[in-house]
């Protein structure tokens, strides 16, 4: 079978939600009113740390699909002021969130044990607060949230090949600025800046999914120890180090694009490595010059630049059953699944969805019960399910 990205069709039940006249949908979806609806109709669990677990009404998959969102809609009314990455989350919240992530991931690995049968992933696609809410394709809920998704591998095998020029696939690494102009600098910076014990760098051959050929060109790390390592707080600290390294690289590069020979940013995580590996690297500075000159002469190109970092970071299971971590810069319109070469076409089809819903809900309510028993929140009752099993 040819290795190529796949486009699958995922049926959903249309949401009976009216957007007030005069508002764009993605403006309304960031409102407290919409988040209230999300809780009442799709909420599974909440806790005092403002973490909300919910069923994805417009999901990526009907095998297993849920999210945990840091629901700051009532305590931070300004959508542009809400946390959009883990480094902006209070330590107490992050500690709770990591425990929730570990339990949900463990459930997914237990229930879908064979990589030949199921592709599973968990991670977040974060937006930067400088993106206009009215920009086309900006995803709906403007708060940091995790995705937990399982795809049926047979459905992926049977799916049609996705167009490799689909704009949703262009930030998987092969077309990205970092990979095109400074791949070696990017990877060397990670190697020098990060002191990792549990996460071990792996080659493209070991991290790439045979069916889709993705991820393409991205740095990847294997979680040594597999699922057991997810119980170790050190793993989650290293998971954050990957993000911090990415943020330092991204912010440093675009500060040089914005201002020639700009001073080092005052709030970076790895100042010594930035000085030695980036600001003293000719390839890095040359790439910044090329992008800066392009911005000056091409208004459309300049407008497409995301000056502050947005990212997609995920844990997924490889063909060999290894757990892999990867990270990529985000682009408007991309979903986290597309890092693995999976393009999801959502299609309204209540009957097709209803055939999948009972088993999907069974999974979601079972994993919710494990979170309740671990004192990670209280169940939410909706018209479709009770507050506890």
- Residue 234 in 3-state DSSP? helix
Take residue 196 and report the two structure tokens written for it: 């990792």
pLDDT of residue 172 exceeding 50, the answer is no
Highest averaged pLDDT of the listed ranges 33-42, 150-159, 322-331: 150-159
| 60: Cβ contacts below 8 Å, ≥ 6 apart | 10, 147, 149, 151, 335, 337, 342, 344
Q: What is the pLDDT of residue 293?
A: 96
Candidate from 66-70, 301-305, 361-365, 380-384 with smallest mean pLDDT: 301-305
Taking the C-alpha atoms of residue 119 and residue 183, their distance in angstroms, rounded to an integer, is 28
Residue closest to 214 by CA, chosen among 181, 250, 169: 169
Position 174 scores a pLDDT of 42
- 317 against 76, higher pLDDT: 317
What pLDDT is recorded for position 132? 55
Task: Write the Ramachandran bin of 374: left for phi over 0, alpha for psi from -120 to 50, otherwise beta.
Answer: alpha
Among 171, 182, 189, CA closest to 286: 182
- The pLDDT tens digits for 185-202 are 988 999 999 989 999 999
Q: Taking a C-beta distance cutoff of 8 angstroms, is the pair 97, 280 a contact?
A: no
User: In which band, very low, low, confident or very high, does the pLDDT at 6 lie, cut at 50, 70 and 90?
Assistant: very high
Between 320 and 126, name the one with better pLDDT: 320
What is the tens place of the pLDDT at every residue in 91-112? 999 999 999 999 999 999 999 9
Of the candidates 123, 112, 104, 126, the residue with the CA atom closest to the CA atom of residue 53: 104
User: Phi and psi for 220 in degrees, rounded to 5?
Assistant: -135, 150
Examine the pLDDT at 308 and tell me if it is beyond 90.
no
Is the separation of the CB atoms in 41 and 35 below 8 Å? no
Identify which has the larger pLDDT, 58 or 174. Answer: 58
197-226: per-residue pLDDT in tens? 999 999 988 999 999 999 988 899 999 999
Alpha helices, DSSP H, located in the chain: 25-28, 32-42, 91-111, 153-158, 177-193, 204-207, 233-258, 271-273, 282-297, 299-304, 350-373
Transcribe 157-222 into DSSP letters. Answer: HHSEEPPTT-GGGTTSSSS-HHHHHHHHHHHHHHHHH---SSEEEE-HHHHS-TTT--S-S--EEE
| pLDDT tens sequence across 324-362 | 999 988 765 567 898 899 999 999 999 999 999 999 999
Least confident of 164-173, 251-260, 269-278: 164-173
**Does the model's pTM come out above 0.85?**
yes
Q: From CA 51, how far away is CA 70, in angstroms rounded?
A: 5
Q: Using 50, 70 and 90 to split pLDDT, how confident is the model at 309?
A: confident
Give the C-alpha separation, 326 to 243, whole Å: 10
Per-residue pLDDT reduced to its tens digit, 48-74 = 999 999 999 888 999 999 999 998 878
Mean of pLDDT values over 70-96:
86
pLDDT digits (tens, 9 = 90+) for 318-328: 999 999 999 98
User: What is 43-87 written as a DSSP string?
Assistant: EEEE-TT-EEEEE-TT-S-SSEEEEEEE--TTT---GGGS--SGG
In this predicted model, which residue has the larger pLDDT, 376 or 335? Answer: 376
When pLDDT is averaged across residues 361-375 and rounded to a whole number, the result is: 98
The answer to whether the CB of 225 falls within 8 A of the CB of 198 is: yes
Task: Give the separation between CA 36 and CA 13, rounded to whole angstroms.
Answer: 19
Mean pLDDT estimate for the chain: 88
Q: What percent of the chain has pLDDT over 90?
A: 64
Do residues 19 and 25 make contact, with C-beta atoms less than 8 angstroms apart? yes
Percent of the chain clearing pLDDT 70 (strictly above): 90
CA atoms within 13 A on the CB side of 179: 15
Q: What is the DSSP code (8-state) at residue 331?
A: -
């Amino acid at each position: 079978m040819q290795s190529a990205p796949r486009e699958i069709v995922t049926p959903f039940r249309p949401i009976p939600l009216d957007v007030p006249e005069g508002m764009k949908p993605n403006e309304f979806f960031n409102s407290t009113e919409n988040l209230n609806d999300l809780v009442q109709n799709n909420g599974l669990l909440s806790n005092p740390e403002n973490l909300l677990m919910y069923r994805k009404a417009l999901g990526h998959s009907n095998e297993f699909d849920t999210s945990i969102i840091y629901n700051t809609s009532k305590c931070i009314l300004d959508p542009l002021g809400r946390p959009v990455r883990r480094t902006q989350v209070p330590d107490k919240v992050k500690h709770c969130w990591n425990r929730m992530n570990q339990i949900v991931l463990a459930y997914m690995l237990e229930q879908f044990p064979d990589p030949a049968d199921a592709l599973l992933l968990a991670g977040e696609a974060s937006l930067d607060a400088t993106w206009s809410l009215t920009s086309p394709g900006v995803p709906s809920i403007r708060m940091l949230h995790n995705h937990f998704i399982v795809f049926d591998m047979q459905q992926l095998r049977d799916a049609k090949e996705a167009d490799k020029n689909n704009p949703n696939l262009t930030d998987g690494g092969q077309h990205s600025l970092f990979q095109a102009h400074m791949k070696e600098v990017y990877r060397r910076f990670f190697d020098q800046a990060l002191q990792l014990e549990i996460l071990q760098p792996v080659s493209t051959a070991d991290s790439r999914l045979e069916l889709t050929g993705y991820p393409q060109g991205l740095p990847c790390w294997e979680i040594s120890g597999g699922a057991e390592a997810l119980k170790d707080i050190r793993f989650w600290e290293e998971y954050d180090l990957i993000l911090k390294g990415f943020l330092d690289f991204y912010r440093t590069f675009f500060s040089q694009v914005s201002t020639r020979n700009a001073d080092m940013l005052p709030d970076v995580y790895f100042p010594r490595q930035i000085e030695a590996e980036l600001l003293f690297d000719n390839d890095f500075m040359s790439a910044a010059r090329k992008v800066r000159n392009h911005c000056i002469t091409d208004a459309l190109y300049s407008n497409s630049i995301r000056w502050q970092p947005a990212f997609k970071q995920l844990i997924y299971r490889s063909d060999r059953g290894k757990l892999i971590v990867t990270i990529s810069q985000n682009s408007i319109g991309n979903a986290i699944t597309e890092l693995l070469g999976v393009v999801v076409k959502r299609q309204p089809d209540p009957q097709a969805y209803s055939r999948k819903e009972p088993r999907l809900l069974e999974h979601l309510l079972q994993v919710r019960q494990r979170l309740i028993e671990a004192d990670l929140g209280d169940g939410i009752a909706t018209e479709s399910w009770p507050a506890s099993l």
